[in-house]
Amino acid sequence: MNSRIASILELKYQPVALTWSDEKPEKAVQFKEGRWACVMFSFANAAKGKTAVFSRKTFGCWGGGVGLGFGNRYVDFPGGEECFRYFLSSGNKHFEMGRAVGEQIKQAPGSGEFYDDFMEGERYLKGPEETKAFIENLPIIDIPSQYVVMKPLEQADEKTENLKTITFLATPDQLSALVVLANHGRKTYDNVIIPFAAGCQAIGILAYAEAERENPRGVVGLVDLSARKSVKKILGNNLFTFSMPLSLFHEMEANINDSFFFRNTWQALAGKSEDLQ
């Protein structure tokens, strides 16, 4: 598949297609079973031309398992979902079970940074009750496929693959253009959301959920501070993700010809104002 939007925007990295599959692609990069890793590492590799695959045993981290659609993996977090609620917020040093689990984590080799976050909390949410509500409101699902695959969009085929989401990596100007284009053919103004969520959840379950809406919205991601830290060396620090289900992708592609892309304002932002003279 090709994207005219990506061509016009002159994206630095290729759009990434996310598909569900029961077959593991050959030569795909995959995390080792049981090893922690960030899904956004593999997403970045897909944007650079590789194919990445994930399974229920190789999703990298608990939030990644949730984000890709492998059910509620927060129950597998050290100390279960209860300790995760404190981890994301005020820290596990505040209650007895959390302190006990923390002592176990402390003994594991190389656990220093995780131990510190576990005990002190990432402080992304105010407290465990807010985290509990966050989890309850996520559109957590267990997908009916064995694998989630990420690959460059140009290598995907919507006729033969179960293509679920398409994600662009965009600079602020490019992101602005995508937001405007997502609203171009609508009679409402709120057709893009910027949710508080993990980077993988923005390109996964939150975009999956949009596909079920009558008028699906675009999902802006990489507002996850941990994900931004993870991919900073690979992708730099000036990019956000813009994810959409397949139907919105086609809608936006169809709206290009009569859009702002060929008017002075966008041309000037893109450094091509001389082309209009």
Checking if the pLDDT of 277 tops 60, the result is no
Same domain, 234 and 112: no
Same domain, 213 and 147: yes
Q: How far apart are the first and last CA of the chain?
A: 33
Q: What is the mean pLDDT of residues 43-72?
A: 97
Checking if the pLDDT of 154 tops 80, the result is yes
Q: What is the pLDDT of residue 252?
A: 98
pLDDT averaged over the chain? 95
Same domain, 247 and 202: yes
Residue 182 lies in a domain: yes
Checking if the pLDDT of 274 tops 60, the result is no
Range of the domain at 172: 4-68+141-262
pLDDT in tens, 166-198: 999 999 999 999 999 999 999 999 999 999 999
Same domain, 131 and 178: no
> Alpha-carbon distance 264 to 277, whole Å?
10
> 103, 137, 171: which is the final residue of a domain?
137
pLDDT in tens, 22-56: 999 999 999 999 888 999 999 999 999 999 999 99
| pTM, two decimal places | 0.94
> 105, 137, 169: which is the final residue of a domain?
137
Same domain, 127 and 159: no
Rg (CA), the chain: 20
Q: What is the pLDDT of residue 108?
A: 86
**Residue 272: pLDDT band with limits 50, 70, 90:** confident
Same domain, 86 and 216: no
Q: What is the pLDDT of residue 259?
A: 96
Residue 267 lies in a domain: no
Q: What is the pLDDT of residue 110?
A: 78
Residue 269 lies in a domain: no
Same domain, 166 and 226: yes
The position carrying tokens 């492998």 is 70
Q: What is the pLDDT of residue 273?
A: 61
Q: Give Cα 197 to chain centroid, integer Å.
A: 8
Q: Give Cα 68 to chain centroid, integer Å.
A: 9
pLDDT in tens, 92-127: 998 999 999 999 999 888 788 999 999 999 999 999
Same domain, 164 and 248: yes
> Alpha-carbon distance 24 to 27, whole Å?
9
Structural domain count of the chain: 2
Q: What is the mean pLDDT of residues 153-165?
A: 97
pLDDT in tens, 207-250: 999 999 999 999 999 999 999 999 999 999 999 999 999 999 99
Instruction: Print burial letters for 238-271: b (CB count within 10 Å at least 16), e (below 16).
Output: ebbbbbbbbebbebbeebbeebebeeeebbeebe
Checking if the pLDDT of 276 tops 90, the result is no
